[in-house]
Copies of this chain bind each other. A is one copy, B any other.
Amino acid sequence: MNSGAQRLRSHIEEIVSLSDEEFEQIFSYFKPVKKRKYQFIVEEGELVNKEFWVVKGCLKSYFYDDQGKEHILQFPMENWWTTDYDAFINRSLAKTSVDCIEDCELLYITYEDKEKLTSESHKMERFWGKKTKAGYVALQNRILSLLRNTAQERYNLLLAQYPQLFQRVPKKFIAAYLGVTRETLSRFQN
């Protein structure tokens, strides 16, 4: 079994236990893909038919507002699931893009295969159900934080939760995540 497969199995087994046969069936739905820094896996305005799991690397999920300003929603990295979920679930056009900040190794599953796999496998329905719930809570906490905390407080929270982000991600992207300028970010770091 290659390392991506082993890692995916461990990741799924954090929530549901699997026999070798069950994992083989599940893994047969996934395909590997490598992307270089700056390449896209989701593009705004396109149909979205794939959900990705990050084996290795770091990406950003983002959109531009009407003034052309970049807003970053997430920095998916190892063990994260990512796509434009609105477009993926509702078969609509992407409102966000996802591209690579580092060279990336990913696994992906198509919409049709995910539907098929979750229909066949109560365990995978359960696994993704729990993952989606955790994602829902993370988004809700981001909303609470956007409404409650200053940018300085949100910077401190991000640093506490993802210290490695500050080594891996250029400062301009951290600023675009927090919704502040580079200059304001520099003040936080002093």
Contact of A65 among B63, B139, B142, B147 (CB under 8 A): B147
Contact between A85 and B140 (Cβ–Cβ < 8 Å)?
yes
Contact between A73 and B143 (Cβ–Cβ < 8 Å)?
yes
Provide the bound-state CA to CA distance between A128 and B129, in Å. Answer: 8
Does A45 reach chain B (CB closer than 8 Å)?
Answer: no
Q: What B residues does A86 contact at CB under 8 A?
A: 137, 140-141
Main secondary structure of the interface of A (DSSP, over half): helix
Does A136 reach chain B (CB closer than 8 Å)?
Answer: yes
Contact between B63 and A148 (Cβ–Cβ < 8 Å)?
yes
Q: What B residues does A89 contact at CB under 8 A?
A: 133-134, 137
Looking at chain A, what size class is its interface with the partner chain? 20 to 34
Q: How far apart are A104's CB and chain B's nearest CB, in angstroms?
A: 22
Q: What B residues does A135 contact at CB under 8 A?
A: 136
Contact of A137 among B66, B90, B137 (CB under 8 A): B90
Q: What B residues does A73 contact at CB under 8 A?
A: 140, 143-144
Q: Which of A108-137 contact B (CB under 8 A)?
A: 118-119, 122, 125-126, 128-129, 132-137
Do A85 and B148 contact each other (CB < 8 Å), given the known contacts A125-B125, A125-B126, A129-B118? no
Q: What B residues does A133 contact at CB under 8 A?
A: 85, 89, 132
